[in-house]
Amino acid sequence: MPIFSTAGSKLSIGAAIDEKNIDFVAADFTSQTWVEIKNLETLGSLGDTSEAINQAIIGESRVKTLKGARTASTMEIVAALDYADAGQLALIAAEKQSSAFAFKLELADKPAAGASPKNSIRYFIAKVMSIVEAYEGANSVVNLTATLGVNSNIVKVAASAT
């Protein structure tokens, strides 16, 4: 797969979704109705990190590090504020709830050839932890910044030629 740009990627929000104590799979997201969040400037990052468990071993004079529980990242997205955008309105409404919501990130990486090429997808659930309006300087666009507390694994669906 050649390298590709973030430009052309899309982030969408779905409905509230129950958290699970096992990993999500793509089929868990098939019944969602997606609303694209428009005017995105940045998408932030996604991924897991293992907590470090450190134990000093006297006989070895060494601290051993073990991998503990995994924690998903916090994703911060920035969009040009648009009071009429259904995706931004859904994001704002989600922040007022304690539920986790389904999210779909579609990357702009579909193959150049194929019968019906498709971009790769990342599915995950997150709680909308904050919504902040940023006003900055005179020559700045008013932005909406949302922090997503990711509460699941990231389900990766590869780009395909069909």
Q: How far apart are CA 98 and CA 30, in angstroms?
A: 23
pLDDT tens per residue across span 32-83: 999 999 999 999 999 999 999 999 999 999 999 999 998 888 999 999 999 9
The confidence score (pLDDT) of residue 34 equals 98
Predicted TM-score of the model (pTM): 0.91
pLDDT band at 13 (very low <50, low <70, confident <90, very high): very high
* Structure tokens, 71: 């924690």
Q: Indicate the domain borders of the chain.
A: 10-157
The confidence score (pLDDT) of residue 1 equals 59
Residue 2 has pLDDT above 80, yes or no: no
Tell which residue, 16, 44, 40, 14, has the closest CA to residue 148: 44
Q: What share of the chain is helix, strand, coil (3-state, %, to 5)?
A: 10, 45, 45
Domain 10-157 has CATH 3.10.20: no
